[in-house]
Structure 1
């Protein structure tokens, strides 16, 4: 029980950190491509140093095929971040975060299409509930260009996240920290042509926020999550994951005064409830421990149940 309690604290702290990510993005003052580029740079340093100190490179388990899969998942992860941060700019952190949490439903649909997994009638019903919640949360009105753009960016980020999860789930026998390291390292050359280095040179205090995104929201956050996954049952992980959007909405309100409207607020619990039901551990599993070979990112290389950015 003590081990599970520690895991609960670790994952809660990781999700609280994830909930503050939007503020770091906005306060950096940089464009989304530039933000993600430097998140990858600082994140690669943080994960690389941690992996070296812990001796994780010894017996790493990588093969050329596994590196290729990690790199492919990484490409999806970094562009998922770009789209999510674009959604922050177009609408608000709260709106983008709630829409982004439709990820589990895209994962279910991709599983059916790509992996030929069967979707039960119950899951289809919860997908319908989630869609109803999304319609309410979007609150998009004709002519509301910003909301339409924000909705599109957030949904695109959710789809890329689900695709990265499908790809990364095929990697086995490799420590998740190393998978995450490959994924953020891939983002450096991939995003370099799009990053505005001239803009970065003028950021001033924004560099502290960018460093925080890499060191805290990529390094520390992932270390906490992976430590927690080995100690917690899948159902507990799925529930604690919703600390992230709750904190994100609270921080968005406290810092920027943004809040969702009454009709949108009705849609939030529908999405949350449907996601919890879809993520529920299958009967007969006993709610066993989460896989130790993480599937994703978030946001990168994190198990799907977490849905962190």
Structure 2
């Protein structure tokens, strides 16, 4: 989780952090394209992402000396595994949503996650969200209603509703991940990410259809990139940036992710949103901005952990 804290980094570090975060969010915005072009089921895609991602993160952790002292206790390891299970299942639902709805709409719905986290925080931790956050949550819910298909062919409407429901389920699972990770601030985020994808490689093994794995080399390029670029490289860039930047900068740059996803969906698949859907997407993004860019009360800087409050795919 990111915390709202002042930045004490040098201007050069700030510039590097800006480029790193922008690159990480741009990479995340293209993930839907790679998922669709791989031609694999969501189970196969997520499993291979975990396998290649675990290999990449393990190599990085070993070279950086992060694996010598992980800081895990029995309790924190169990929490990390629970967060990892929610994270990989969140990927399965999100990648399924791409196929039933569209990358654009699934990503927009997925970005209501901060408001689900606010609700979970109130229910589980007894946190008081405050009137401003409640107001932003109402705006996000209104945007979600505008995105929903109210007219049109019943079959297409059912398919779209299924996709949006899967995207919302993915956001809920990510919220559980973020809620758990709040308690794991002592663990290096790269190590925590390694534990999560390693668990995913084991957890999803029974669901993999090995007979459907591609025989041609082309689809493997998409799949390897999902693990090494969209997981290993993206997480390294993102966590490095979070360490350099104030939270407001991280929150603002996080909007690159859905913006790139919508542009990629249009460029690659010709997906166009109608006026009502654009209004709903805009309402969701404005509401998320209102929550993410709110002024902080925390005065002491703290280390990032492996689940940013704004989701990245």
Flag whether TM exceeds 0.5 (same fold): yes
The equivalent residue for 1:202 is 215
Does the aligned pair in 1 maintain the 2:252–2:293 contact within 8 Å?
Answer: no
Q: Structure 1 length as normaliser, TM-score?
A: 0.94
**SS state at 2:206 partner:** coil
Does the aligned pair in 2 maintain the 1:93–1:248 contact within 8 Å?
Answer: yes
**SS state at 2:185 partner:** coil
Aligned equivalent of 2:289, options 253, 276, 283: 276
The equivalent residue for 2:41 is 31
The equivalent residue for 1:292 is 303
The equivalent residue for 2:135 is 125
The equivalent residue for 1:11 is 21
**SS state at 1:266 partner:** helix
Looking at structure 2, the residues matched to 29 and 77 of structure 1 have their Cα atoms a distance apart, in angstroms, of: 22
Q: Please identify, of 176-185 and 119-128, the stretch whose mean Cα deviation from structure 2 is larger.
A: 119-128
> What is the deviation of 1:236?
1.0
Q: Please identify, of 22-31 and 273-282, the stretch whose mean Cα deviation from structure 2 is larger.
A: 273-282
Corresponding pairs, count: 300
Q: CA RMSD in A?
A: 1.4
Does the aligned pair in 1 maintain the 2:109–2:168 contact within 8 Å?
Answer: yes
Q: Is the aligned partner of 1:302 residue 2:312?
A: no
Any residues of structure 2 matched to 1:1-309 within 5 Å, and which?
Answer: 1-141=11-151, 143=154, 144-202=157-215, 204-285=217-298, 291-294=302-305, 301-305=306-310, 307-309=311-313
Q: Which has the higher contact order (CA 8 A, sep 6+)?
A: 2
Q: Structure 2 length as normaliser, TM-score?
A: 0.92
Does the aligned pair in 2 maintain the 1:171–1:293 contact within 8 Å?
Answer: no
> What is the deviation of 1:46?
0.5
> What is the deviation of 1:138?
2.4
Does the aligned pair in 1 maintain the 2:181–2:307 contact within 8 Å?
Answer: no
Relative to structure 1, the CA distance from residue 125 to residue 50 in structure 2 (aligned partners, 3 Å threshold; closer, same or farther) is: same
Does the aligned pair in 2 maintain the 1:140–1:148 contact within 8 Å?
Answer: no
